[in-house]
Amino acid sequence: MAQEPYRAPRGTEDLLPEKVRIYRKLEEEARRILEVHGYREIRTPFFEETRLFVRSIGEVTDIVEKEMFTVSRGGESSYSFRPEGTASVVRAYLEHNFHKRRPFQKFFYIGPMFRYEKPQKGRQRQFWQIGAEALGSSDPRLDAEMILLVLDFFERLGLRGLEARINSIGDKADRDRFREVLKEWFRPKLDDLCPLCRDRYNRNVFRILDCKVETCKELRRGVPEFLDHLSPESLAHFEAVKKTLDMLEVPYRVDPSIVRGFDYYTHTVFEIPYEKLGARSALCGGGRYDDLIAELGGPSLGAVGFSIGVTPTLIALEMEGLLEEVSPGGRPDAFLVPIGPEQEDEGFRLAVNLRRAGFAVLFDHQGKGLRARLKLAARERCRAALLLGEEERKRGVVKVRDLDRGEEMDVPAGPELEARLLSLREEARAGSEEGAP
RNA sequence: GUGAGAGUAGCUCAGCUGGUUAGAGCGCCAGACUGUGGCUCUGGAGGUCGUGGGUUCGAAGCCCAUCUCUCACCCCA
């Protein structure tokens, strides 16, 4: 019986060094832009009590009903790996009494989320999100700020021409009223809807609004829009968001078909679509959730947030040919090459000392020959090869080979060698700037 | 959860309707060059053809099951 090889679990992947570099670049850009806007990083546990997600995301949502990784041990409560980030942030906000100390807080998080789903393009069981939450205020300027910030982030990565889609789903009373309006409107057409939509009619009428089946699209002609059924207060909030977006010259379009999947959303909801993505067509989704803090046991305070999908973002960057730009990678300063077995120890010592002085120095540990080591040095794009043979050692020098020019010179080990490596580093930098437009 | 396609060397793939020792390119290792990289040439290693079962004189190919990947639906980042 042949043993099955070990593999990463379905829907997960190993982020190999090359990819980690890209992730870090994304994270770096996100942290920068978020911190400039006053958001501070928060790190919550990867799992929470299951009831937290049930309460926040909603009991009858697909995520809670069938997409959570849930574990229970003995008599303890049931725990679930977080399928999204907002619930945890709000929980932490309340647990640490921010609402009593300084109710207005801006947090962001970067980390993996987990959903038990069938993997496909841009959709995995463990996936990374970059998210932000502004808690303790209902200021429509924050809704606009979120959208602006996200578009700026994508722009910085090189994704241009993106546009936000926004909509308002009002408050709970608005939704209860509109739900009835929709049901009333669809009732006579019920038999002509697709089977799925007939199910949606009872589960969540709103979702019929974004069904992609042609016959349903046809039937939807002249369907009432949420925006026409908002209370004056809700409408005023939405108008204020749009006004702010206009003022900030943020590109957006009102799209009545945007209905988010979590129960906690209220008022403003938005997405940043990227058409070429396929099954996962949004790079980012977000919205206001003015009832959630109270729902989780806190005071009645407004909040708004978004989350960016790292995987879809990477797919978009790849499609636009931007991955190389995002991740140029660094060059090691040198490859230390002892010549002859007697020099191995001394060479290793020299490599370690240079590393302690801050230089990135590679060393061969596979017993390769001189030529093979130089080959490695070239492949790793080292700036220099440091050759240490018997001759050099006797004279207390190291032969520094400039791998870009092919020139060699003997340099005394010590401060002079470090100076030489520094100057090679500078040269390379000047060279790369010359090449830039 | 539903449906479709695909799994052959480290990677990308070829392998006609089942027929003898399963191939290429790239990569890897070594040599040409015993103290010098990127180029070239030569040689080498590396495969139970995803896994298990079945049909057959004979299976990488056909059938069944299973796993994984990909894509779509559902849903969503």
A381 found inside a domain? yes
User: Domain boundary at A325, A350, A384, which?
Assistant: A325
Task: Identify each DSSP E strand in A17-104 by its residue range.
Answer: 40-41, 47-49, 70-72, 78-81
Domain count, chain A: 2
A257, A345: one domain: no
Strand B atom within 7 Å of A194 CB: no
pTM exceeding 0.80: yes
Q: Which residues of A80-108 are buried (b: 16+ CB within 10 A; e: fewer)?
A: bbbbbbbbbbbbbbbeeebbeeeebbbbb
Range of the domain at A390: 334-434
| ipTM summary value | 0.82
CA of A8 to C1' of B17 (A): 39
Same domain assignment for residues A319 and A338 = no
Task: Quote the CA–CA distance of A384 and A311 in Å, as a whole number.
Answer: 37
The answer to whether residues A371 and A300 belong to one domain is no
Q: Is the shortest CB-to-strand distance from A395 to strand B under 7 Å?
A: no
Q: Measured from the CB, is A387 under 7 Å from any atom of strand B?
A: yes
A190-241 confidence digits (pLDDT tens): 888 887 788 778 777 888 887 777 777 778 888 888 889 999 999 999 999 9
Instruction: State whether the beta carbon of A16 lies below 7 angstroms from any atom of strand B.
Output: no
Tell me if A69 is assigned to some domain: yes
Is residue A9 situated within a structural domain?
A: no
Strand B reaches within 7 A of the A217 CB: no
How far is it, in rounded angstroms, from Cα A284 to Cα A312? 9
Do A295 and A365 share a domain, yes or no?
Answer: no
**Which positions in strand B are less than 7 Å from the protein's CB atoms?**
1-3, 28-31, 33, 35-38, 48, 51-52, 67-77
Q: Please tell me whether residues A358 and A412 are part of one structural domain.
A: yes
> Are residues A344 and A245 both part of a single domain?
no
Q: Are residues A37 and A143 in the same domain?
A: yes
Q: Look at residues A285, A305, A325 and tell me which one is the last residue of a structural domain.
A: A325
pLDDT, tens only, A41-70: 999 999 999 999 999 988 777 788 788 888
Question: In this predicted model, which residue has the larger pLDDT, A327 or A76?
Answer: A76
Measured distance CA(A327)–CA(A21) in Å, rounded: 7
The per-type count for chain A, helices as H runs and strands as E runs, is 17, 16
Determine the nucleotide nearest to A370 by Cα–C1' distance: B36
CA–CA distance, A245 with A279 (Å, rounded to integer) = 29
CA A227/CA A183 separation, integer angstroms: 16
A213 domain-assigned: no
Q: Which nucleotide is nearest to A340 (CA to C1')?
A: B35
Check if residue A7 sits with its Cβ under 7 angstroms from strand B.
yes
The verdict on residue A214 lying in a domain is no
Whole-number Å distance between alpha carbons of A144 and A122:
27
User: Is A32 (CB) below 7 Å from strand B?
Assistant: no
Residues A276, A390, single domain; the answer is no
